[in-house]
Structure 1
């Protein structure tokens, strides 16, 4: 199994998980043209995908999903709550398949485990993926860590983990007080220290890759995110991957 990102941040998100015969996209916050171009940059194409999975209805995650899936005749997996909000005003929907946020399901060679997260959306989930040998956990867009999140991500071979902001940078930013409160609240986004705290609660013995994701352009820095995660793991800062808005990150292989 391998995985890569088309881009990660407030202007658009998409992740590709490839299990050989089965390749899926998680979210698509980009236009169809841009998503296709970014896939090509990874040596992939839309017709190789088996499905698009959606985490929640915010535009940087779902903005391009329906058009992309409709154009390439792909099924879209999402919770009932996400579907109810995201589909409003959409004239022609693709094949939408409603999922239970607590019930694993299979897409080809991939076992997909959705899990609910505390975020200011209707029925948000994140996902873990397994191919029979390895497990990848994806956690972005959550304001706090729950025991269930820890349980799902307890033993992964790779993690894509939100490090949205640094507490001090957010406090000193030009953002309005209400927005700061939303971002830093328990239904907002993970701070670097919170992400590091999660790592201290899970088994990282099998961890081959750790990528900090969904960094705020104004309220975080790659070096701060990497330092926080490296401190929790006891590794060098350079070992931590950091996803960015323009390039995401390239393929990471699980062996």
Structure 2
């Protein structure tokens, strides 16, 4: 199994996951032109996909969906509430496959579990993708980590997780009014570095090979700050073997769940 992040952040979110001849797109928050260009840059033909999965209905996760479907006429997988809201944006003629949070379903070579998350959307979800012995978890746009979310993600070999803001940088930010800061840090907002670090440390096990941090705020976070927080948490838990990366605005390389991770040479005090 491998995955690539086409974009992550307020400018647009989209991830490709593939294994066993099945290729899936999770969210389509960039313009259709950008999505196609970035897919082609990693060698993924838009005509080779088996489905599009939606985490929720916000514009930075569905922006390019309507136009993209003309080049990628595949089923859209979403909860009933998310599908209803997305249809109201003017998406017509699509084939919808509705699932319920907490339900498992199959697409090609993948067994997929959807789980409910906390965010200011109608019915947001995260996913765990299973293929043979590999498990990949995807958690984006979640304001609070619940015990149910941890239980669903336990045992993953790869994880994409939001690390949106650093607490001190958010507090010091002068661009955002207090009400916006409150929404971001609320239980239905976004995950901080500290929250992501606590989650990753709890999920860490000898088989966790790779963690990719996403949805970083340009003003209230920095890749080095986010990676340092997660690395320190992992090292305190005795898991120095995990390979850490940040996915920001540009397309990422393919990340595999089977290759050996790169060991870090930086350690915490």
Task: Look up the match of 2:62.
Answer: 62
Runs of 4+ in structure 1 over 3 Å off: 235-239
Report the 3-state secondary structure (helix = DSSP H, G, I; strand = E; otherwise coil) of the residue aligned with 2:224: helix
Task: Look up the match of 2:244.
Answer: 240
Task: Look up the match of 2:129.
Answer: 129
Task: Look up the match of 1:22.
Answer: 22
Deviations 1:112-136 (A, max 9, x none): 1110000000000011101011000
What do you get for the CA RMSD once the two structures are aligned? 1.5
- Give distance in 2, aligned partners of 1:238 and 1:22: 26
Matched, 1:104 2:104: yes
- Give distance in 2, aligned partners of 1:83 and 1:194: 29
1:89, CA displacement in angstroms? 4.0
TM-score by length of 2: 0.91
Matching of residues 72-151 of structure 1 within 5 Å: 72-90=72-90, 92-151=92-151
Task: Look up the match of 2:266.
Answer: none
1:91, CA displacement in angstroms? 5.3
Are the counterparts in 1 of residues 161 and 211 from structure 2 also a CA contact under 8 Å? yes
Task: Look up the match of 1:206.
Answer: 207
Show structure 2 runs of 5+ residues with no match: 259-269
Report the 3-state secondary structure (helix = DSSP H, G, I; strand = E; otherwise coil) of the residue aligned with 2:202: coil
Q: Cα distance 1:178–1:47, how it changes in 2: closer, same or farther (>3 A)?
A: same
- Give distance in 2, aligned partners of 1:22 and 1:238: 26
Deviations 1:135-183 (A, max 9, x none): 0001110000000100011111001111000011111112011110000
Task: Look up the match of 2:263.
Answer: none
Are the counterparts in 2 of residues 66 and 93 from structure 1 also a CA contact under 8 Å? no
TM-score by length of 1: 0.96
1:253, CA displacement in angstroms? 1.1
Number of paired residues?
254
- Give distance in 1, aligned partners of 2:57 and 2:45: 24
User: In terms of mean alpha carbon deviation, does 25-34 or 86-95 score higher?
Assistant: 86-95
Are the counterparts in 1 of residues 214 and 246 from structure 2 also a CA contact under 8 Å? yes
Q: 243, 249, 253: which is aligned to 1:250?
A: 253
- Give distance in 1, aligned partners of 2:114 and 2:246: 23
- Give distance in 2, aligned partners of 1:16 and 1:56: 16
- Give distance in 1, aligned partners of 2:63 and 2:93: 13
- Give distance in 2, aligned partners of 1:243 and 1:91: 28
Show structure 1 runs of 5+ residues with no match: none
1:238, CA displacement in angstroms? 9.9
Task: Look up the match of 1:216.
Answer: 217
Are the counterparts in 1 of residues 211 and 242 from structure 2 also a CA contact under 8 Å? no
